[in-house]
Structure 1
Amino acid sequence: MKKIVLLLLFIGSTAFSQGKEHKHSLQGVKKVHILSNTTIKVIATNTNSLLLKNHSNHSDNQCEEDNDREHSNNKHHQKKKDKRKGLTAIYPGGKDNTNGFGFSITKEGSTLIVKDLKSRFQRHGIQLELPKNINLFVDSGNLGSIHIEGFSSEIEADSNVGEISMKNVTGPITAHSSTGAINIDFSKVNQSSPISISSSVGEIDIAIPASTKADLEIKTNKTVYTNFDINIPTKEGLKNVSGRKRIVSTINNGGVQIKLRSSMGDIYLRKK
């Protein structure tokens, strides 16, 4: 009897978990706008559609506790689901059209807008899987952070308090955070368009391949650290520094423009 009860709980929780993702077509879509006020994780996969999931940064122990809690509350979830049957959730930001997942997905021209309708108190992170060559605009609102991995497309990222991190990307990239740190690890640097990375308070840490050709412009009131051989232009024997610290130079005889700016944070430019 105990085995049967456990099996029923497992089946019920599996069905509930399966409701925690939503798939959407990308036909005719060239760019995806993602808007949420929680942690946003975007991963490039071998897919031709958008896959949207709940995502949590909880520890393994916390996840086990969450699973136990989910098992014990399964009847409660089913009761809630039954009460909502035939009804559509409406939020201050719009109407859910993702079968109860809590998002509004609309298309404007070749741009798909994915808007999280739930507040930060209702959701604790989202994960999206998308093709690696689709262009992205990601906005994590006032408190959310952004994590992006594996894209060979144009990326725009904007956060307030939360950090921005990217790895295995090529750019072009435009990223800004008001107070959060920005960490980006390039697999290679696309030479087609400028790269601009800025934070008002947070530090910036960028890693690029040693062979990258670039024109650099770095501004900060703090300190710049690098293992690239950067020559600072001089005028009449004096370093070209005025007001805020500003470094203008080239690496590997110049190439794509890379701007790094932080008013109050250190800047790290690493050679891979």
Structure 2
Amino acid sequence: MIPRHLAQLFQAVASGEMTPEKAAQAIEAQQQGFAETGGFAHVDLHRRNRCGFPEVVFGLGKTADQIEAILHTQIQHGQGCLVTRVEPTVAERLRSVFPEGVHSAMARTFRKAGPEAEGPKVGRVVVVTAGTSDLPVAEEARVTAEAWNCEVTLLADVGVAGLHRLLSRLDRLSDADALVVVAGMEGALPSVVGGLSSCPVIAVPTSIGYGANFQGLAALLGMLNSCSSNVVVVNIDAGFNGGYVAGLIARRAGQARAGVDGKSD
């Protein structure tokens, strides 16, 4: 267990906020690497140690009681929390229980920042959308990359049907460590962006489009067949995956710069 978390437990016991028995259970859970929660979840407490980021909760299909219990477990063990695909009624419950958390209705996320988000921003991510209809998926990517403590900017509605909109904003892409490009319809935008930038491009196909779009399959196949060599693709509507990978790449790039110039970004 990280010394800072031990100190927090000791302070909670000293102030009467936590019983010694609860503190002992928290220490035991940290040692075994997971915490049994409510008979319906085993919260992975070592995910941050292994992967750099705490376990993320997929909210779809979980009840408000289940998500609340999982978040309490994460917070008790000194971790931040990110829930994706949060239903409106569940989000209302989480806002009341965790008032310090932030809910994004468009991204369908709920986030309570933890120690991993402390300190200066590290790495630069730009999220690009082809159209306004792609914003919910793009916002999920943005929230996720911000949870990595990256500097994130959003460039919306610059699809290939009006290419001059993108070309007039190329300066926004030039200093990015990773780009997340979100598009539906035929999914052409990531290839264009990939041909105009030197960093990794994470393409996110969306289910936005008319019938022959096949709920995002056409965009997915178009992106998989991209002739831009720096484009990789995640699943349909998977904004979380795009933002997660971009955050991972950007943080490594930012940390490398900090190691060279002796300061954080």
> Which TM-score band applies after superposition, normalised by the shorter structure?
under 0.3
The structure whose Rg is larger is 1
Structure number having the greater strand percentage = 1
- Please report the TM-score for the alignment, with normalisation by the length of structure 1: 0.23
Choose between structure 1 and 2: higher helix proportion: 2
